[in-house]
Each structure stands twice: as C-alpha cells, then as structure tokens.
Amino acid sequence: MGANSSSICELPENEYLKRLSGAEAVSENDPFWNQLLSFSFTAPTSSAELKLLEEATISICKSLVENNPRTGNLGALIKVFLSRTKELKISAECQNHLFIWQAHNALFIICCLLKVFICQMSEEELQLHFTYEERMPGSYGVECEDLIEELLCCLIQLIVEIPLLDITYSISLEAVTTLLVFLSCQLFHKEILRESIIHKYLMRGRCLPYTSRLVKTLLYNFIRQERSPPPGSHVFQQQTDGGGLLYGFASGVATGLWTVFTLGGVGSKPAPQQEQSSPLANQSLLLLLVLANLTDAPDTPNPYRQAIMSFKNTQDSTAFPSPSPHAFQINFNSLYTALCEQQKSDQATLLLYILLHQNSNVRTYMLARTDMENLVLPILEILYQVEERNSHHVYMALIILLILTEDDGFNRSIHEVILKNITWYSERVLTEISLGSLLILVVIRTIQYNMTRTRDKYLHTNCLAALANMSAQFRSLHQYAAQRIISLFSLLSKKHNKVLEQATQTLRGSLSSDDSPLPDYAQDLNVIEEVIRMMLEIINSCLTNSLHHNPNLVYALLYKRDLFEQFRTHPSFQDIMQNIDLVISFFSSRLEQAGAQLSVERVLEIIKQGAVALPKDRLRKFPELKFKYVEEEQPEEFFIPYVWSLVYNSAVALYWNPQDIQLFTMDSG
C-alpha cells in the first residue's frame, strides 16, 4: 500500500497513522510531520459523517493511548501544531495557504485524538498524557507540565487573532470545535463538574486575559453567520496528474493520509440545509453557551459569564463600572438582528434568554426598540409549535416573554403594533391583529395545550404570569383574543365542576367501603382554583385599568355571563367577583334598556358609551398584578445538562457514542 489512503476503510492501515500511534517515539523535528500533515479532504459536516471516521480510526486511537506513555507522540504532535501557529496571522495576511493548511490538519488530528482520550479517561489521566515525552525508562520530564494550558491558550489566540477569511475558516472552526471537545469532559460525568482541570486553565492563568476578546469574537461569529467557503478554498489548487495530486509546493512534501474524498460517499453533496448553514456560527454559539455556564470557582466567579453580563453597545460612551474587568463593547443593532433571525434554534433562544436575564444593557436596548415584533414573533412561533419543540425550548421562549412583560412600556407598545396575515397561525385567519392580541392568543393556546397534554404547573404559572403582567395594559383587544380569554375561563370552569363532581362521588362511595384509599381530589381542586383565581384577576385588572379600551372583552364577558354565576358566592372568589359582577350588571342593564334584537355593531356601540358612563369609583381597587422571573437557586443543574444536550445534538462534526454519555439520558437530549 502506498502513502495515500483513498477510502476511510484503509485508514487503519495507513503507514503514517500507524507510526504516530506506534511504539516508536517521533521527534517533533522529524520530517515525518510534514508527510503526516500533507493531506486534503472534505471536512465532515455532521456527526454521522464523523462517526464513520471515528469508527475507522478507533484502532489507531487505542494504539496511541497504549503507546503514548512511552513515546510521547501526542505531545510531539501538539508541539508541532504550536510551532506552526506562531506565524498563522502573518500567513493569513500573506495568503500563505501551505502554512494554514498544515496547521489545520494538525489541529484536526489533535481534535479527533482528544475526543477519544477524553471519552476513555479522567482529566488527571489526560493531563498525564500531555506530560509524557520521549525519555529513558525511569526518567521524568518537567518541561511539558503546562502543555494543556499552552494548547488552550493557543486555540483562544487563534480564534481571536486570526482574521476570518476563506483560507482561515476551517482552522477557526476547528479551534472552536477543539475547545468544545476539551470541555466535553462534562459529558462523561453524571454530576455537574465543579472542580475541573480544564475549567481551571480557562478561568485562570494565561487564558484569563483573553476572556472578553473570546466572548466578543464568538458573539461576532454568531452575528455574521458566515457560510462555509467552497470546498478546496483553504488548500492548494488541486490538479490531477495520472490519478495523483500536485499541490505546487516543495516536492519533498508527500501527499499524506488520503486523497480527496467525501465522507459518506465520493461525490455526495451536503444537504441543502447544510449548504445554507454556518458551522462556525453554530459552533461559536455552542462554545459561548458552554463557557457562560461553567460553574464558578470557589474564589472567583466565572469570567465568561461576567463578560456576557457586562458588555455594552458600541454607541454607549459611558464609562464601565470598575468591577467589570472583562467588559467590552459590541454592535447591539447587529446582535439584535442576528437574534431575531436565528430563533428557530434552541441555542439562539437560550442566548437571548441569557442576555435579557443577565445583561441589563442588552435588556434596556431591546425594550427601547421600535421594531419589537421582529423579536417577539419568532418567540411566539416557538410557543405556537409547542407540539414540535422540546420542552426546554418552550420554557426558554416563555420565560423570555415573562421577562419582557415585566416592562410596562413593552406591554403598552405591543398593542400599537398592527400585524397583517400571520400565516403560521392556522386556527383562524388573522388578516389584521395587534402584536399584543396575538401574544395573548398564543399564550392562551399554550395553556390549553398544557391542560390537555403535559399538565405542567410550572408552564401554567409562567403563562398566567405573563398575561397578568400585561393585563393592566390591554388595549383594543381583537375580538378573537377576547373570546379566547373567556373560552379559557369556560374550560377551567368545566374542569373545576368535573373535579368537584368526582370528589363528591368518591366521598359518597367511601362511606360504604372503608378499605379503598381516596384519590387526592383536594389537591387537584386547589390547583384548578388557583388558576381560576388568576384568570379572574387578569380579567378584573383589565376591567379596572382599561375597560374603555376593550369593548370586545366586555362583549365576550356579557355573551358568556352565565359562566360567572357559580363563582359569585364562592368563598375563594367572592372579592374578585365583585367588580366583574358589577360590570356585567351595569352593561346588561343598558342593553336591556336598548331593546331586543340588537346587532353586534349596536351592542359594541352601547358598550363604548357605557364605558364612559360607568363610575370608576364603584370598582374596587386591587393590588397591581406584577410577576418577575426568578431563576432557580441552582440553575446549573438545569442549564448545564441542557447546554450539553444542545452540543450533543447540534454540533457540526462532533460525534459521541450515546452509550458513553453520563450527564443526561438520551430522552432529555
């Protein structure tokens, strides 16, 4: 067999890979490295493609794990890579393809090997493999002790300092991916890692000064959404010559591992969605989320989270507060546009949540935008497609709405934005509706879905809290939105009656049988009554604060007035029913005076006139409904598994064996 391997199945027998993983130590100055690194291939674009590569090279990796303590070839490969990255910035500026090409190939091999090492051993064992070097038996080297830190620092420098060009795209992507692989130790632990060697290197020492630049670069990678350049743009122009490959550089450098091939089949094309996606933007966002959710060190907070919490708009000229050592500035308009466009992905929604929740500068900027519909509509679409989304994505979207509705300005402005032809809303044709009314419709639909399917009290609570925050600012509610508010109350009323009837029947049956245990209907009744109380408070808040702005709600209330009869004397609802009962009685009386057979238009006209005449002092004042989102006491217990499930499912060219994963079950992913 010659130097080239023309297919994946031949890789285990490739002489260069066998020497790298064999029992013979290879000096970092050996010409072998030029030969090893002189290969070209179409990079994997999915975890499925990388799985093929991993399966083909697993024997090579196992051999290296076994022999590396004696040869130190992993450390030698890393040193070769480190030496070649020192001139990368100049190489990019000078369009030096050879330098960048071989550095990328070295990093690709390192990344593939690292993934296997991390999967098979602890961080302590991994650290030992970085310290091994060619030595006489019984001797110990001290020089390579911080090779992990040196590699991590080099990867960060590569990401933040190398300009993003067609010829550098692949190596930038590989650097981000390798950092994700380094951090993937978490995947192989059931518990959240609070003491980690890799975390320590990234949050202290030589990597620490690059914190803000790394976060800024990853954000800009996400913002730019640069697509992958055409295949071959990062390597030498290839020419065929009798089946060989001529790269146009020194003849002493041989073609190395394999000739050009496409993983998954020669000549196969990536799927359209892969062609349109930006692997670098996706990987950068995943790395940013992982870094933001690293647990705090005992003595210092996570610097990457600190950077995310404190960055400001480039147009903000105010001085940074002194306790923000990792703060930086970024273009908020570009960030806002990217967030609006990318909300179909879990990770973009999670980033939006983190920024709104933790960065007051971003939150203030977004709430001041006059085009909030560009952000809110994608969030509503996520909730509308609740059946197709995972529960975490739905929760993030809902919490984002809750955070936004904490602001009265937002609650007012969304009723001033008029939308036309919402194509994704299929229950009813909405030719014209306010953003506020659409938000109400989608949240109510989410509540109804939850009542019949998931029955998640947390989801109920957040939906109702968002409606409650908005209720005092309801304006010009669409007739369908008003109907759905009352329809939801009707559904809750029926559910209440059903549970009450079941409890009564069970109680009667228990009098003749002392053996059978009673179902806990009291708890079910308590939950449903809490929800009913909240709905009555939402309706009351609208009536007491903006009755004259919402004739459609009064119309729907009068049309279904019988629903409220049973709650008038109920001890849990008597107080809140006083205002609703007053409004129903007042407008019913005026309609009776107007005569029978009134048209809808005439009824609405009477309601509008009556809203002006109704004495406001007769309506009892209740405390303002305001709910704030409060994060759980140990958010990492939710967010770290969630983030890693996103990495597991959506990272480009990363594959982990499901049987090895410890952090989360496959169901949660």
Task: State pLDDT tens for residues 77-103.
Answer: 999 999 988 888 787 777 777 888 889
Q: Tell me, what's the pLDDT at 212? A: 96
Is the CB of residue 644 less than 8 Å from the CB of residue 664?
yes
Residue 536: half-sphere exposure toward Cβ, Cα within 13 Å: 25
Q: 535-558 in b/e burial notation, b at 16+ Cβ within 10 A?
A: bbbbbbbbbbbbbebbbbbbbbbb
- Which amino acid is it at 444? I
For the residues of 115-168, what is the DSSP string, one character each?
HHHHHHS-HHHHHHHHH--S--TT----TTTTHHHHHHHHHHHHHHHS---TTT
Q: Tell me, what's the pLDDT at 649? A: 86
With residue 378 as reference, give the H or E element that holds it: helix 373-384
- The total number of residues shown for the chain amounts to 669
* CB-CB neighbours of 327 under 10 Å: 16
Q: Tell me, what's the pLDDT at 231? A: 67
With residue 571 as reference, give the H or E element that holds it: none
Instruction: Tell me how far the alpha carbon of residue 146 is from its chain's centroid.
Output: 33
Low-confidence ranges of the chain (pLDDT < 70): 1-9, 41-43, 45, 134-145, 231-276, 322, 454, 507-520, 653, 665-669
Of 531, 507, 501, 527, give the one whose Cα is nearest residue 519: 507
Provide the token pair at 330. 């970024």
Helices (H), 359-434: 360-367, 373-384, 391-404, 408-413
Gap between the Cα atoms of 457 and 298, Å rounded: 35
Gap between the Cα atoms of 153 and 72, Å rounded: 21
Directed axis angle between helix 346-358 and helix 360-367, to 10°?
100
Identify the DSSP state of 205: G
242: left (phi over 0), alpha (psi -120 to 50) or beta: left
Instruction: Name, in order, each residue with C-beta under 8 angstroms of 105's C-beta and a sequence gap of 6 or more.
Output: 37, 38, 39, 256
Q: Is the pTM of this model over 0.85?
A: yes
Is the CB of residue 554 less than 8 Å from the CB of residue 484?
no
Gap between the Cα atoms of 611 and 628, Å rounded: 31
* CB-CB neighbours of 270 under 10 Å: 17
Q: Tell me, what's the pLDDT at 665? A: 53
Strand, coil or helix: 258: strand
Gap between the Cα atoms of 442 and 414, Å rounded: 14
Instruction: Name, in order, each residue with C-beta under 8 angstroms of 585's C-beta and a sequence gap of 6 or more.
Output: none
Is the CB of residue 646 less than 8 Å from the CB of residue 202?
no
Interior angle at CA 186, CA 181 and CA 187, nearest 5 = 80
Q: Tell me, what's the pLDDT at 2? A: 32
Beta pairing, strands 312-313 & 329-330: parallel
Identify the DSSP state of 246: E
Strand, coil or helix: 91: helix
